[in-house]
Structure 1
Amino acid sequence: MTDITSLILDDHERFRRAFAELDDLERPDELARVWEPLADLLDRHAAAEEAVFYPELIQRGADAEDETLDAVGDHNDIRDAVAEARRHPAGSAAWHAAVRQARTANSEHMAEEEDDALADFRKHADPGLREELGRKFLAFKAEHEGAKDIDTGDVDPERYVAEQERKAGKKPSGDGSLGIGGLKDSSERGAP
């Protein structure tokens, strides 16, 4: 099955298991052996979600804008922690601190995404679309194996959401209005 929501959950389980495996290791070479593929998967997963999943959520989700803003911000926190860990030798105090930061940010992100964005998408996207997106998600991850050609810099959440809404033909909601029109009835506005 290639339902994108299931594939995202599969990655989440891989994250949990890899972080737990790090708890049992001490030698720098062992830590690096587990960390490097995990770091690559964290980067690829975030990029794949931003390329495939969140643009579709924006079009269909009930609370998609807030869910996406939050998710992209979380991805930035995870990317920053992964980049920080890569600046230090595996097993050093600074490396451990950065990996802990990545784990904490990722755990919070996964819980929110599982409870909100994924549940929202399952309610509003038909199974055929979820399967199609799953194939795209897998293709994206395969194309970027080892985090190849992935920009791991921060993504501005508001700019990302605005761009995805523009691509989807949705009117941006940044005008501060509730989008329900005026409060006066049509007779008070001079309408016939």
Structure 2
Amino acid sequence: MDIAQLILDDHHEQRRLFAILEEIDRADTGVLTAIWDRLSAFLELHAQAEEDIFYPALLQAGIAARRTAGVEDETLDAIHDHNEIRDAIAEVGRHRVGTDEWYAAVAAANAANSDHMAEEEREGLTDIRRLTGLPRRHQLAVAFAAFEARNYAGVEPVDKDPETYVRAMEGDPLVTTCGSLRVGSLKRP
């Protein structure tokens, strides 16, 4: 099991669920609601799992490999992207299911998520493969799978300040809070 592959599998599922929404008759609001509720909860769960497990590990691997600047930039961008995806999801909730406005908001969420996934697949996932060995990626995959399993019903969406997040993950003693992150167990001994 590899954290990079688990994230890619989640990305595939996200793309699949967005595609399903495009295939459902707009009058079938019950099904649209069910699929959207599943997808929106999954998007947030995936983002939180990345923020709790993947990005702290990527930052630590970058620090160890003396490639801090590159992984910092990737992480800053990813946290910013997650906030944009959360905002797009919230916008969907402001519209009646099946209306033109609802579909436009879903399309905007899809675009924000697609941009994020493409960038993450080109950069973050490539770097984690280059900077960490398979045993470490396996350890991260186990933690990632367990997090998603424990929180299958969803997690509360919480925007994060990207700069504060990165400083906290790098162990800046001046940063005392950054959401509900428990990263100590992910650092190498």
Overall identity of the aligned pairs, in %: 47
Q: Deviations over 1:76-131 (max 9, x none)?
A: 01111112212333212332222111100000000000000000110001101101
Q: Give the partner amino acid of 2:167.
A: A
CA–CA separation in structure 2 for the residues paired with 1:69 and 1:157? 5
Runs of 4+ displaced beyond 4 Å: none
8 Å contact 1:31–1:91 — kept in the other structure?
yes
What is residue 20 of structure 1 aligned with on the other side?
19
8 Å contact 1:4–1:130 — kept in the other structure?
yes
| Correspondences of 1:43-192 after superposition (within 5 Å) | 43-61=44-62, 62=67, 63-147=70-154, 150-166=155-171
What is residue 186 of structure 1 aligned with on the other side?
none
Q: TM-score, normalised by structure 2?
A: 0.83
CA RMSD in angstroms comes to: 1.4
What secondary structure, in the 3-state scheme, does the structure 2 residue paired with 1:108 have?
A: helix
CA–CA separation in structure 1 for the residues paired with 2:101 and 2:87? 14
What is residue 188 of structure 1 aligned with on the other side?
none
CA–CA separation in structure 2 for the residues paired with 1:131 and 1:76? 27
Which is further off, 151-160 or 85-94? 85-94
Q: TM-score, normalised by structure 1?
A: 0.82
What secondary structure, in the 3-state scheme, does the structure 2 residue paired with 1:87 have?
A: coil
Structure 2: give runs of 5+ residues left out of the alignment.
174-189
Structure 1: give runs of 5+ residues left out of the alignment.
170-192
Structure 1 residue 42 corresponds to structure 2 residue 37 = no
